[in-house]
Amino acid sequence: MHFRLRLIPLLVLSIIATNSLLAQNSGVINGQDTTRRVITTAVPFLSIAPDPKSGAMGDVGAATEPDANATFWNPAKLAFLNQKSGVSLSFTPWLKKYVDDMSLSYLSGFYQLDNEQTFGLSMTYFDLGDIELTDGSGGSLGSFNPREFAIAASYSRKLSNNLSLGVTGKFIHSNLSGNISTSPVTDPKPGTSIAADIGVYHKSQEFTFLQKPSQFSYAAVISNIGSKITYNSADEEDFIPTNLRIGGALTSFLDPYNKITLALDLNKLMVPTPQPDGSEKDKGLLEGMFGSFADAPDGFSEELQEIMYSVGAEYEYREAFALRAGYFYENANKGNRKYFTFGVGAMVKKFEFNFSYLIPQFQDHPLAETLRFGVLIDFSKSDN
């Protein structure tokens, strides 16, 4: 498939789906609407929800019930796992409507050191598929398979019976063009970065809500706190998707066999808003992070537009079957992702199989037909 043909879905991905894939190269896109100040970053694959369980609930995950995927959503949740060890594996064909060989894979696992401490490992792998690169006159530059990945290690500790703290360190690698050069003055190279996540999680004691025993949890996590990435020898660096996520989840036990969970997450990219003079590119990590709450050219009203909302619900029967649904909202001026999600889960012995499906609010959306598949394995459960 020629590069020009692949450019169309990748451009849609950058503006609508994950807020910038092409922007990783710091290029100017002809015809881009500059009146909509979409915040763009390098390595946007780090922001894609990898697992079908949270993916079916509108991409909520800060304060939901912990499982092996907590290494992505909030490392602090790992300390409240009721299992000694477990693994999660998920696979998502990405932009399936436009591209047949792009995918996101996620592998994570954890081990409980004791009743207070848990250690986790994870790897995210984003395959952009095979492309044929051409120069401006249509001459072939060769074929290449762009790939990106992140390897992470997490540690979580209980600070009390209800509160935990978690940290993650990760190495990010992004290879978008290999050794193929399109300019005599720049030498492309893979981009790399070191980043960290830090999260806090609180789970309440059981209380009565609407005459049903219930629990409430809330959490906050800042993810991808790390250095900028550059892809060539020029002095051009791009922010990675540092993100603040705040969330809460309410679980009510209807009876010994049925329970319902309702969850809400709020997300805010801690990345500078594009400025008319392009000065956001000159900011450093800390200045960009903390300045991102008050740097929108249109003031507070635009800052509110940069908040993304996720809501989700789950019904579970006898810890054997689950139905899930959710909704994700992003302002039209900041990416315009709006979609419904639903999914199912089935627990068989030590295995939990999950599936989710995404339904965009608009027709012909690039995220249409997005499927996620995954399995969770609880090694502490018996095969009998």
For residue range 95-129, list pLDDT tens digits in order: 888 888 899 999 999 999 999 999 999 999 999 98
Whole-angstrom distance, CA of residue 372 vs CA of residue 356: 5
Q: What is the reported pLDDT for 99?
A: 83
Phi, psi angles (nearest 5°) of residue 6 = -75, -20
List, for residues 168-203, the tens digit of each pLDDT value: 999 999 998 766 655 555 567 889 999 999 999 999
Residue for token pair 């809400």? 264
Strands (E), the chain: 85-93, 103-112, 117-127, 131-134, 140-144, 147-158, 163-175, 191-203, 207-209, 212-226, 243-253, 258-269, 307-317, 321-329, 338-348, 351-360, 371-378
CATH of domain 52-378: 2.40.160.60
Residues 6+ apart with CB under 8 A from 344: 56, 321, 322, 323, 324, 354, 355
Are 43 and 344 in contact by the 8 Å Cβ rule? The answer is no
pTM: 0.88
Residues 6+ apart with CB under 8 A from 364: none
Residues 6+ apart with CB under 8 A from 323: 314, 315, 342, 343, 344
Decide: helix, strand or coil at residue 65: coil
Whole-angstrom distance, CA of residue 66 vs CA of residue 335: 29
Neighbours of 47 (CB within 10 A): 20
Q: What is the reported pLDDT for 27?
A: 36
Task: Return the biggest CA–CA distance within the chain.
Answer: 71
78 CA to centre of own chain:
18
CA angle 184, 235, 15 (to 5 degrees): 90
Residues in the chain, pLDDT under 70: 1-35, 135-136, 178-187, 233-235, 382-384
Are 31 and 8 in contact by the 8 Å Cβ rule? The answer is no
Decide: helix, strand or coil at residue 319: coil
Q: What is the reported pLDDT for 143?
A: 77
Neighbours of 89 (CB within 10 A): 17
Residues 6+ apart with CB under 8 A from 120: 68, 70, 71, 75, 78, 108, 109, 110, 111, 153, 154, 155, 156, 168
- The structure tokens listed for 139 are 């001459």
Whole-angstrom distance, CA of residue 276 vs CA of residue 177: 29
Using a CB cutoff of 8 Å and minimum separation of 24, what contacts does 299-302 make?
302/37, 302/273, 302/333
Q: What is the reported pLDDT for 382?
A: 66
